[in-house]
A and B are shown apart, each in its own frame.
Chain A
Amino acid sequence: MAKAYHHTLGNRRYHFASLAELMAKATPARSGDRLAGVIADSAEQRVVAQMALAELPLTTFLEDHLVPYGEDEITRLIIDSHDAAAFAPIRHLTVGDFRNWLLSDLATPETITRVRAGITPEMAAAVSKIMRNQDLILVARKCRVTTAFRNTIGLPGRLSTRLQPNHPTDDVTGIAASILDGLLYGNGDAVIGINPATDNVAQSIKLMTLMDEVIQTYRIPTQSCVLTHVTNTLEAIEQGAPVDLVFQSIGGTQATNESFGFDLATLGEARDAARSLKRGTVGDNVMYFETGQGSSLSANAHHGLDQQTCEARAYAVARHFEPLLVNTVVGFIGPEYLFDGKQIIRAGLEDHFCAKLLGVPMGCDICYTNHADADQNDMDNLLTLLGAAGCTFIMGIPGSDDIMLNYQTTSFHDALYARRVLDLSPSPEFEKWLDEMAIFEDVARHRPSGRLPEAFARPLSRLPEGGVR
């Protein structure tokens, strides 16, 4: 029997049947929670739920499990890996106190790092629900999460990009053309990552080999990834393919991940296999995860939780496997989960905040589909806000148009906009490479070269005149 929660306001006593209900009702409005039937009944009820949540001791989340311990391996992971010593300095706080503490000067980058292992996803989700957008930005900016493979990702003042050269038929020439375009716009330091059009092992190996050859030929301090199922990548490793990063979409409940066709043991096996290849030069973070609010509901695996709480629980999975990169594909899922630009922006800031608080190297696929009530201006807003929040990386795609996945994400140009406006640089190793290759004529001022760099002039001259389609 779930424990009920109450809050008295004036002469009215509000009743919440469970912690899950309290969390859901306290969540800023979004269409996915309405679809799930867990949204607050009124604007007033939402704020009352937030008030009730603010009075809850953080220790509540260690005792009242939102998804039963016996039924869910992610709950077990969260509870069993909770670090009581790290938790000690904040153990006495309520959720409301925790917000104050995070905003205060007591919470420095160092102290936040020290308490990190004592914070559970549910605590992070709870505090985010009573934070305004500016709070989410301010605190996220104080969180330090640095990872490394062939370069160093996540240092302060840096904004990396995933170069995403997708093509609807995985055409080698078309993919190479998009890679070149991205590199010449200074993109690709987080990863060069392809969503394959045909999702099987043979196709994945072909794409891995293509990217590996480019990275080796031009000695690019970056890594590659084919975003195929974890079991495909494991098979590719067994066949001797050049695997840098292992990809998987992950969710915050065991049942969600079962619907994705994997469990925690599979991820552990894949991480160990990729590490055994020893392909990283400055670090061995070998995992790349994608998440996004709504995936658990979509798989009917949400246990009556709101979508943002499910999402935060996915970060427990992520941090356990020490990924190089994680990104929330915030606007991809569609308007039945995040209806418009306002909801997408809020969700992007929440996901980034919760992940960073938990120590996850969070980037964001700042994106929308054509059936959502959103446009480029909404993406500009979220990009600028996430840049201010210290977002680890964003996507970079030619002209914002993913011609394979049919959605819009940030462009190579957008990344340069953010770098100029917020004075952010790519990872240090990659920045040096842009300078050495003369891709940028003034890398400190984010100014690309007007001329074609020498190293790329030769391959272009090899192309047949008139081209082939």
Chain B
Amino acid sequence: MSDATPTHGVTDNPWHRLREFTDARIGLGRAGTSLPTRRSLEFQLAHARAQDAVHLPLDVEALRCALDGLETGQPIHRLHSRAADRETYLQRPDWGRRLDAASRERLADDAPRPPVDLAIAVVDGLSSLAVQQNAPPFLEGLMRRLAEDDQDWSLAPLTVVEQGRVAIGDEIGECLNARAVLVLIGERPGLSSPDSLGLYLTWGPRVGLNDAARNCISNVRPAGFVFEEASRRQMYLLREARARGLSGVQLKDRTQDDVIESSGGVRNFLTS
């Protein structure tokens, strides 16, 4: 037994204070060389939350109520992919990219005759939690920016989609006769980020496009990329896409710096 091991069996790490500089799980201490009980259970809790986020169904009615409050002046359509349930959804990404027959009919009945500038689809994806909590406040900011823009933005009816993947926006945009589609989707939950919302913009949506045709903003959530900044960057991309008539790899987001500088102002303390 090491003389530094206290009688309760846990050896703390003297460098524990480095946790001030990162969210990584450093300085956890050890029982022997294993994780101490408290740290082990903390991990299990985080994993349980992330798994729940994947399997918790989207509360569509609650979301519709929240989105109604945005007063877009447009009806909200409830749609479903071809993946009937979560188990199928997880194994058949191809089905999650297409609307089921009933959803297609619903959209066909209500497609705007003259083309509109933008269709917005709110999709559960891999985290209903992300969509439930973060889609309404993000959209509130974006709607304001769209209204304040110096050019008019005509909008298609808002859609809420269950068991959907990013590419389902292509079919929705096509059905709704929209020049562009913006998909708000729950991202794969991380251990410490079960609520990340992803934003995917596609110009000229049509079935069969791949991710090279899209621009993505990731990690939109209160503890990540905050709503105000996300809507600012999204508006930039929308304007650029409209001006150039394209999206994807050819449309670079120049609002990002090429090299991220250390935010803390502290250098590599190991060598300086």
Question: Which A residues have a C-beta under 8 Å from some C-beta of B?
Answer: 31, 34-35, 165, 167-181, 184-185, 197-198, 200, 202-203, 206, 210, 213-214, 217-218, 334-336, 339, 369-371, 375-376, 397-401, 403, 406-408, 411, 413, 416-417, 420, 441, 446-452, 456, 459-460, 462-464, 466-469
Known: A401-B24, A401-B46, A416-B33. A173 touches B4 (CB 8 A): no
Beyond A398-B28, A406-B191, 5 additional pairs, beta carbon < 8 A: A180-B18, A336-B90, A370-B190, A411-B25, A460-B269
- CB pair B28–A399 under 8 Å, yes or no, is yes
B95 to chain A, nearest CB (A): 10
B192 adjacent to A403 (CB under 8 Å)? yes
- Contact between chains at A35 and B92 (CB < 8 Å): yes
**Mind listing 6 A-B residue pairs with CB under 8 Å?**
A371-B189, A401-B191, A408-B47, A450-B11, A463-B266, A464-B266
**Given A35-B94, A370-B50: A456 and B191 within 8 A (CB)?**
no
When distances are taken between beta carbons in the complex, the residues of chain B under 8 Å from A411 are 25, 35
Distance (whole angstroms) from the CB of B44 to the closest CB of chain A: 8
Contact status A202-B259, CB under 8 Å: yes
Interface of B is mostly: loop
In the complex the two chains form, what is the Cα distance from A269 to B90 in whole Å?
Answer: 40
Kindly state the separation between the CA atoms of A174 and B90 in the bound complex, as whole angstroms: 34
B150 at the interface (CB under 8 A from A): no
For B26, list chain A residues within 8 Å (CB).
Answer: 177-178, 180-181, 398-399
- A178 contacts B22, CB within 8 Å? yes
Bound Cα distance from A420 to B30, whole angstroms: 14
Instruction: Tell me if B22 and A466 are in contact (CB < 8 A).
Output: no
Q: Is the CB of A206 within 8 A of B259?
A: yes
Contact between chains at A181 and B15 (CB < 8 Å): yes
Taking a contact as CB atoms under 8 Å apart, the answer to whether A468 and B24 are in contact is no
Q: Are B188 and A406 closer than 8 Å at their CB atoms?
A: yes
Chain B 1-55 interface residues, beta-carbon cutoff 8 Å to A: 2-5, 11, 13-15, 17-28, 30, 32-35, 39, 43-44, 46-47, 50-51, 53-54
Binding site secondary structure of chain A: mixed
Encoded as 1 (CB less than 8 Å from any A CB) or 0, chain B from 210 to 251 comes to: 000000000100000000000000000000000000000000
B112 located at the interface, meaning its Cβ lies under 8 Å from any Cβ of chain A in the complex: no
Q: Nearest Cβ distance between residue B207 and chain A, in whole angstroms?
A: 16
Cβ proximity bits B82-99 to A, threshold 8 Å, 1 near / 0 not: 000000001111100000
Report yes or no: A468 in contact with B188, Cβ–Cβ below 8 A. Answer: no
**Closest-CB distance, A280 to chain B (whole angstroms):** 22
Given A417-B34, A456-B15, A469-B264: A450 and B3 interface contact (C-beta under 8 Å) = yes
B30 touches A174 (CB 8 A): no
A35 to B97, CA, bound (A): 14
CA distance A210 to B261 in the complex (A): 13
CB nearest to A368 among chain B residues: B47
Known: A202-B258, A206-B259, A469-B20. A413 touches B11 (CB 8 A): no
B271 adjacent to A184 (CB under 8 Å):
no
Select one of A165, A167, A371 contacting B188, CB under 8 A: A371
Contacts of A179 in B (CB 8 A): 270
Are B268 and A214 in contact, CB atoms less than 8 angstroms apart?
A: yes
Residues of B within 8 A of A447 (CB): 2, 33
Q: Which of B91, B189, B192, B268 contacts A173 (CB 8 A)?
A: B268
**CB-CB nearest in chain A for B39:** A399
Asked if B92 and A167 make an inter-chain contact with CB atoms under 8 angstroms apart, the answer reads no
A217→B191 contact, CB < 8 A: no
Q: Which of B190-204 contact A (CB under 8 A)?
A: 190-194, 196
**Residue among B39, B43, B262 with the highest chain A CB neighbour number at 10 A:** B262
Q: How far is the CA of A375 from the CA of B44 in the complex (A)?
A: 9
Q: Which residue of B lies closest to A177 (CB)?
A: B18
Q: Assuming the A-B contacts A206-B259, A406-B188, A467-B20, are A450 and B46 also in contact, with contact meaning beta carbons closer than 8 angstroms in the complex?
A: no
Q: CA A206 – CA B260 in complex, angstroms?
A: 10
The listed residue (A174, A200, A400, A417) touching B258 by CB distance below 8 A is A200
Q: Check B189 against A400 for contact (C-beta < 8 Å).
A: no
Q: Which B residues touch A406, using CB under 8 A?
A: 188-191, 193, 196
